[in-house]
Structure 1
Amino acid sequence: MTKYLLAIDQGTTSSRAIVFSGEGQILATSQQEFAQHFPEDGWVEHEPADIWGTVLQTCRDVIAKCGIEAQQIAAIGITNQRETTLVWDRVTGEPLYNAIVWQDRRTAKYCESLKQQELEDFISAKTGLLIDPYFSATKVRWILQQVPGARERAERGELAFGTVDTYLLWHLTGGREHRTDATNASRTLLFNIHSQQWDQELLDLFDIPASMLPQVMDSSDDFGWVDTALLGAAIPVCGVAGDQQAALFGQTCFREGMAKSTYGTGCFLMLNTGLKALKSEHRLLTTVAYRLNGVPTYALEGSIFVAGATIQWLRDGLQLIRGASDAEPLAEQTSLDHGVYLVPAFTGLGAPHWDPNARGAIFGLTRDTGIKEIVTAGLQSVCYQTKDLQKAMESDGVRPVALRVDGGMVVNNWVLSYLADILGATVDRPKIIETTALGVAYLAGLRVGVFDSLESLEKLWQCDRRFEPRMDKARRDGLYDGWKKAVSKVQTN
């Protein structure tokens, strides 16, 4: 019987399910968007029922689309928006509060107080992360403090905490399994990336009971079995990774120095540093890239909060374009010297600035400025922010010579051409750009023997198009200097 792999890709704005063949080819996809909730300035929430409901529906849809039986699925992989935080009742599964999304900045003041206590070095030494509202720990603490009765219930062991992968696994297994993988654990601000364990000193600092935490597994492991009633068969979940780590794995960046950049809602540049947890001196993150057979591989990561979300805002907020595909022809008609810079700090600035209080702005407007200049500036902002990350990595002594890219935005040839120009580096787009889902399909497939080694996966990667830099250095530096000046004007720290 032919065996297939099902990847669940639970993202910030939509949930997707993709069925892959045993050769890593996409056979069918199902996707559903869901609502974003912004109760206050800088707050971002999701309804937990939307997360679970869209995942279950897309899984059922994609199996039906393929015309296969659930029994033919060898394993399931789960990849997810990282850091997004849920707390629920262990018995009923009822969430205590909405999911607090990774972009949410409500704990900025508390984070500032931790920095004033000079705790950042202490926390960073253990976790590889910085003190920022982005990560899960301060979100969990907020729920325990703000939801009536939550603290007491947590102390009694009645509550479970999880990132989205854990919440989905809990539901898929009928509440039997409360687990996560090392990549997701490494984004909570509670996990010691060197000892590969939850850290009691950090739990004490954030006042979070250890009883709330999931068991940490390898990224390719036996996570549990899906309840038969949900999809029509008991299917093992054998791969879990946070979305950016999954993309690194899907791009087969298994060798030290290989790098990928994913352009979805945000932008994330990740470089494999091998068995070394390289500490950044320029405010990049040290994180777990993946963990196999108990051995962690590490990565250096730069996180940008707003990339594709800029194009969404131009479409939905300003209504300058009807769809994302309208942006490319507008950019092609626009001179690069239009002088407009759009800094999309809608929820603060991520790496390497880490300024949660910064807000977005558009600079350089004149009477000649029109829709095409503003849209082009939005596309360019994604490239400039990637340049910020590249410069930070260079200062830390590492430089990706070639960059493998993926995510929804990379269908835009203009963006990738400009990205190669601004970085002064080769940019490679693979044939399969759904590398996040592919990565967890690979992880699940490795566990059940569909794939037998990392080397066999490397052979599956194929380049669709290579973009080479054509811009001279003087022009590149001039355009980038304009960006740096624009960013300096919105910074608050």
Structure 2
Amino acid sequence: MAGAILAIDQGTSNTKALLVAPDGEILARASRPMETSYPRPGWAEQSARGLWAGVLAVIDEVVAAGHAVAGIGLSNQRESAVIWDTASGEPLGPCVLWQCGRSASRCEALKAQGHEAEVVARTGLALNPMFSAGKLAWLLDQDPTLRERAGRGEVKAGTVDAWLLWKLTGGRRHATDHSNASRTQLMNLQTLAWDPEMARLFDVPLTVLPEIAPSDSLFGQTAAGATTLPAGVPIHAILGDSHAALYGHGVESPGRVKATCGTGSSLMTVTGARVRSAHGLSSTIAWSRSSRVLHALEGNISVSGQAFAFVGQLLGLEDEAALTALAASVPDSGGVCVVPALAGLGAPHWNDAARGLVSGLSLGSTPAHLARAALEAVALQIHDVFMAMQADLGGVLPELNVDGGAARNDLLMQFLADLIDRPVRRPDTAEVSALGAARLAARGLGFDLALGDGADRVFTPAMTSQVREHILAGWRDALRRAML
């Protein structure tokens, strides 16, 4: 095969692109930061135009390396919602982020009406503003003409992948894959199609939604002039970023779990068939191919690495390295505990009303103790989801595979291994989501992309059970206070 795979990874904090040769060598890479706005407490949004501009910028940079591109794989931040004008291709509102709670009142109303059990049964997802359905409804509510226009085909809607696909193909394809569709709260996990009853409950017209296709489908081709790529480059994989990371880790059968540690965190494991969680996790689709659909179990943490950065800003520190150095200057948090419920609490607690909390302060507390507590909070949240996943699966998970920006923090990864009492395995590359998208695109094109042969770093548990239980007891007490 001539040419490389272009992997586009559009995340909450950054938009990245990798150009990957068939032998797995990364020929070029580019990254652009994303800006998030918080117009009201609990709200979070990005510019839909800004998302596309970031994608154009990273494509420009990697294409400038001069390598031929055989195909494209796309991974994206999930649940975030966009609506746009069919004719002009211009957005009709902001991109409402997955972290945003502006649809909380709609979710609470549906709970009060007794719909939560039905929603979970059909979609696998808790009635929570994290998911796309309420966001799409809110966007459509902003203009009373939009639903009428939708009936005439004048309005399109979708998650970030559908928006970017529309732009890449010059408006020729309005589609998404099963992994992204499974995060909208509008797809039925049994039929793998849009659920008319869910669309009715959330007041989202089916006419605005994209076609759902297997993750390794031929989703279209680049349009002339849409980017600096030539016309006709096939887009042969779309995956939500957490699903792409799972695929990038090579997790294709039950028994292994990965944690993507970024702005928020996502723990996911393949289950084969659907598993209905009894411990606050979501049933979802890992990915799909034309001949196979894999289900997964997932726990989403709303604020993870972002909380560490947030505390760093409060302390006036320049960057994560300075915050980590401060946290490492003390052996423990000195009894200080941070609950990073800055956008409520996600899995396994699912409490939208919870708010951020710092507890255990004393006259002996120092900025270093606060920094240490913020770092530990990232791992404590992951611990809770990991244990919930073990309980749902009814067995011991032997280790945890990690990726994402926060996973590059050695102090955090060691503390995580200590907390879950399992080895934590980190690959030598931080770009696992992008590589997962590239790997699936290559398979769609008919070949296997060689996996990297770099050595993984393994963090081995070293904490005593007494210390572990003491830390967890303090965390449980702080959680209870944050949810009062």
- Give the shorter-chain TM-score range: over 0.9
Q: For 1:99-138, what aligned pairs fall within 5 Å after superposition?
A: 99-138=95-134
Of 54, 72, 75, the residue aligned with 1:76 is 72
State yes or no: 1:199 paired with 2:195: yes
Q: Name the residue aligned to 1:256.
A: 254
TM-superposed CA distance for 1:369, in Å, is 1.8
Q: For 1:84-483, what aligned pairs fall within 5 Å after superposition?
A: 84-229=80-225, 230-234=227-231, 235-274=233-272, 276-316=273-313, 318-336=314-332, 338-396=334-392, 397-451=394-448, 460=452, 462-483=454-475
Q: Matched residues in 1 for 2:47 and 2:347: separation?
A: 28
Q: Name the residue aligned to 2:4.
A: 4
Checking the alignment, whether the CA contact within 8 Å between 1:253 and 1:259 is kept in structure 2 is: yes
| 1:320/1:377 CA distance change after superposition, 3 Å | farther
Checking the alignment, whether the CA contact within 8 Å between 2:7 and 2:74 is kept in structure 1 is: yes
Deviates more, 1:351-360 or 1:386-395: 386-395
Q: Matched residues in 1 for 2:118 and 2:84: separation?
A: 30
| 1:159/1:294 CA distance change after superposition, 3 Å | farther
Q: Matched residues in 2 for 1:135 and 1:277: separation?
A: 19
Cα deviation 1:90-122 (Å, max 9, x = unaligned): 111121111110000011122111112221111
TM-superposed CA distance for 1:367, in Å, is 2.2
Q: Matched residues in 2 for 1:28 and 1:376: separation?
A: 36
Q: Matched residues in 1 for 2:27 and 2:410: separation?
A: 25
Checking the alignment, whether the CA contact within 8 Å between 1:271 and 1:400 is kept in structure 2 is: no
Q: Matched residues in 1 for 2:258 and 2:292: separation?
A: 21
Q: Matched residues in 2 for 1:313 and 1:74: separation?
A: 41
Q: Matched residues in 1 for 2:453 and 2:398: separation?
A: 18
Amino acid at match of 2:304: A
Give the alignment's TM-score, normalised by structure 1.
0.95
Q: Matched residues in 1 for 2:40 and 2:325: separation?
A: 35
Deviates more, 1:393-402 or 1:54-63: 393-402
TM-superposed CA distance for 1:315, in Å, is 3.3
Q: Matched residues in 2 for 1:225 and 1:24: separation?
A: 23
Q: Name the residue aligned to 1:30.
A: 30
Checking the alignment, whether the CA contact within 8 Å between 2:335 and 2:360 is kept in structure 1 is: yes
Q: Matched residues in 2 for 1:266 and 1:252: separation?
A: 22
TM-superposed CA distance for 1:81, in Å, is 0.6
Q: Matched residues in 2 for 1:394 and 1:361: separation?
A: 27
TM-superposed CA distance for 1:193, in Å, is 1.4
SS at match of 1:270: strand
Give the alignment's TM-score, normalised by structure 2.
0.96
Amino acid at match of 2:123: T
Q: Matched residues in 2 for 1:13 and 1:421: separation?
A: 28
Checking the alignment, whether the CA contact within 8 Å between 1:96 and 1:147 is kept in structure 2 is: no
TM-superposed CA distance for 1:152, in Å, is 1.9
TM-superposed CA distance for 1:156, in Å, is 2.5
Unaligned runs of 5+ in 1: none
Cα deviation 1:330-387 (Å, max 9, x = unaligned): 2222122511111111110000111112110111112222221111111100110011
Amino acid at match of 1:38: Y
Q: Matched residues in 1 for 2:379 and 2:421: separation?
A: 11
TM-superposed CA distance for 1:309, in Å, is 0.6
SS at match of 1:257: coil
TM-superposed CA distance for 1:293, in Å, is 1.6
Cα deviation 1:376-431 (Å, max 9, x = unaligned): 11110011001110221232124421111000111111111110000001100112
Amino acid at match of 2:483: Q
Q: Matched residues in 1 for 2:312 and 2:28: separation?
A: 28
TM-superposed CA distance for 1:21, in Å, is 1.7
Checking the alignment, whether the CA contact within 8 Å between 1:305 and 1:350 is kept in structure 2 is: yes
Checking the alignment, whether the CA contact within 8 Å between 1:20 and 1:26 is kept in structure 2 is: yes
Q: Considering only aligned residues, what root-mean-square deviation do their CA atoms show, in Å? A: 1.5
Q: Matched residues in 2 for 1:290 and 1:464: separation?
A: 24
Checking the alignment, whether the CA contact within 8 Å between 2:308 and 2:378 is kept in structure 1 is: no
Q: Name the residue aligned to 2:55.
A: 55
Q: Matched residues in 1 for 2:143 and 2:14: separation?
A: 27
TM-superposed CA distance for 1:268, in Å, is 0.7
TM-superposed CA distance for 1:462, in Å, is 4.8
Checking the alignment, whether the CA contact within 8 Å between 2:182 and 2:284 is kept in structure 1 is: yes
Amino acid at match of 1:28: A
Checking the alignment, whether the CA contact within 8 Å between 1:271 and 1:300 is kept in structure 2 is: yes
Checking the alignment, whether the CA contact within 8 Å between 2:332 and 2:369 is kept in structure 1 is: no
TM-superposed CA distance for 1:329, in Å, is 2.3
Checking the alignment, whether the CA contact within 8 Å between 1:390 and 1:399 is kept in structure 2 is: no
Checking the alignment, whether the CA contact within 8 Å between 1:254 and 1:272 is kept in structure 2 is: yes
Q: For 1:8-19, what aligned pairs fall within 5 Å after superposition?
A: 8-19=8-19
TM-superposed CA distance for 1:131, in Å, is 0.3
Amino acid at match of 1:479: I
SS at match of 1:51: helix
SS at match of 2:161: helix
The percentage of aligned residue pairs carrying the same residue is 39
Q: Matched residues in 2 for 1:335 and 1:254: separation?
A: 38
Deviates more, 1:410-419 or 1:29-38: 29-38
The aligned length equals: 481
Cα deviation 1:56-112 (Å, max 9, x = unaligned): 111111221xx224xx11111111110000011111112111111000001112211
Checking the alignment, whether the CA contact within 8 Å between 2:15 and 2:55 is kept in structure 1 is: yes
Checking the alignment, whether the CA contact within 8 Å between 1:143 and 1:150 is kept in structure 2 is: no
Q: Matched residues in 1 for 2:431 and 2:294: separation?
A: 22
SS at match of 1:289: strand
| 1:463/1:297 CA distance change after superposition, 3 Å | farther
SS at match of 2:219: strand
Checking the alignment, whether the CA contact within 8 Å between 1:429 and 1:463 is kept in structure 2 is: no
Checking the alignment, whether the CA contact within 8 Å between 1:126 and 1:194 is kept in structure 2 is: yes
